[in-house]
Amino acid sequence: MGGFKLICSQCGSDKVLEKSSENKLDWIGDKAVYGEGIQIRCTECDNEEFMIFRTWTRRD
């Protein structure tokens, strides 16, 4: 079974911590835009990233 390895886009290290999460990205009128994806933090350079897999809107 194949897999993939996450690396830091800033320093290239593979020493990263990852977790699935949801983040509020923006507002469109009275609706909030959310994104779901993987949040990654590099333990070498402390760079943080959020890769989005899907987005949706809802009233908050």
2-58 residue pLDDT tens: 677 888 999 999 999 999 988 899 999 999 999 999 889 999 999 999 888 899 998
Domain, as residue range, for 26: 16-59
Does a structural domain hold residue 45?
yes
Does a structural domain hold residue 37?
yes
Does a structural domain hold residue 8?
no
Q: Which two tokens stand for residue 7?
A: 């690396």
Does a structural domain hold residue 25?
yes
pTM of the model: 0.61
Does a structural domain hold residue 51?
yes
- Number of domains composing the chain: 1
Q: Which two tokens stand for residue 2?
A: 């194949």
